[in-house]
Amino acid sequence: MNMNVSKRLEEGLVSLLSKSTTTLKTSKQTHAHLYVTGLHTHPFFFGKLLLQCAISISDHALQYALRLFHHFPSPDTFMYNTIIRSLSHSSTPLTSLQPFIQLLRHPTLFPDSFSFAFVLKGVANYGYLKRPGIQLHSQAFRHGFDDHIFVGTTLISMYAECGCYVSARKVFEEMSQPNVVAWNAVVTACFRCGDMEGAWGVFQRMPIRNLTSWNVMLAGYVKGGELGFARRVFSEMPMRDDVSWSTMIVGFAQGGSFDDSFGFFRELLREGIRPSEVSLTGVLSACAQAGAFEFGKILHGFMEKAGVLCIVSVNNALIDSYSKCGNVDMAKMVFQNMPVVKCTVSWTSMIAALAMHGRGEEAIRLFHEMEKSGFTPDGITFISLLYACSHSGLVDQGCALFSKMKDLYGIEPAIEHYGCMVDLYGRAARLQKAYEFICQMPISPNAIIWRTLLGACSIHGNIELAELVKARLTEMDPNNSSDHVLLSNVYAVAGKWKDVAGIRRTMIEKSMKKTPGWSMIEIDKVIYGFVAGEKPNEVTEEAHDKLREIMLKLRTEEGYAPQVRSVLHDIEEEEKEDSVTKHSEKLAAAFGIAKLPKGKVLRIVKNLRVCGDCHTVMKLISKVYQVEIVVRDRSRFHSFKDGFCSCRDYW
- Which residues are at the interface with DNA (CB under 7 A)? 14, 43-44, 47-48, 51, 55, 76-78, 81-82, 85, 91, 112-114, 117, 121, 124, 148-154, 157, 179-182, 184-185, 188, 210-213, 215-216, 219, 223, 242-243, 246-247, 250, 276-279, 281-282, 285, 288, 313, 316-317, 320, 344-345, 348-349, 352, 378, 380-381
User: CB-wise, 348 or 584, nearer to DNA?
Assistant: 348
Q: How far apart are the first and last CA of the chain?
A: 72
Question: Closest CB to DNA among 58 and 458?
Answer: 58
> At closest approach, how far in Å is the CB of 211 from DNA?
7
- Backbone angles phi and psi of 398, in degrees to 5: -60, -45
Nearer to DNA, 344 or 579 (CB): 344
C-beta of 240 vs 586, nearer to DNA:
240
User: Which is closer to DNA, CB of 170 or CB of 496?
Assistant: 170
CB 112 within 8 A of CB 81: yes
If the CB atoms of residues 55 and 624 are measured against DNA, the closer one turns out to be 55
CB of 378 vs DNA, minimal distance in Å: 5
> Residue 125 or 540: which CB sits closer to DNA?
125
What is the nearest approach in angstroms of DNA to the Cβ of residue 566? 31
* Contact criterion met (CB below 8 Å) for 189 and 169: yes
Q: Minimum distance from CB of 51 to DNA (Å)?
A: 6
Q: Please, are residues 201 and 226 in contact by the beta-carbon 8 Å criterion?
A: no
Q: Let me know if 515 is exposed, middle or buried by CB neighbors in 10 A (0-12, 13-18, 19+).
A: exposed
The pairing of strands 518-523 and 526-531 is antiparallel
Report the residue number, 246 or 581, with the smaller CB distance to DNA.
246
Task: Write out the H or E segment, with its range, that includes residue 368.
Answer: helix 360-372
Least distance to DNA, CB of residue 178, Å: 8
Q: How far is the CB of 319 from DNA (least distance, A)?
A: 8
Nearer to DNA, 37 or 313 (CB): 313
- Minimal distance, residue 223 CB to DNA, in Å: 6
Q: How far is the CB of 250 from DNA (least distance, A)?
A: 4
For residue 436, with 0-12 CB atoms within 10 Å meaning exposed, 13-18 middle and 19 or more buried, which class applies? exposed
User: What is the full DSSP assignment across 248-309?
Assistant: HHHHHHHTT-HHHHHHHHHHHHHTTPPP-HHHHHHHHHHHHHHT-HHHHHHHHHHHHHHT-T
- Nearest alpha-carbon partner for 480 in 444, 517, 513: 513
Q: What are the strands of the beta sheet with 644-645, ordered from one edge?
A: 526-531, 518-523, 602-606, 629-632, 637-641, 644-645
CB of 67 to DNA, least distance (A): 19
User: Measuring CA to CA, how many Å separate 173 from each of 147, 189, 314, 610?
Assistant: 11, 13, 40, 52
Q: Which is nearer to DNA, 62 or 567 (CB)?
A: 62
Give least dist CB 638 to DNA, A.
20
Q: In degrees rounded to 5, what are phi and psi of residue 523?
A: -130, 120
Residue 521 CA neighbour count, 13 Å, CB half = 27
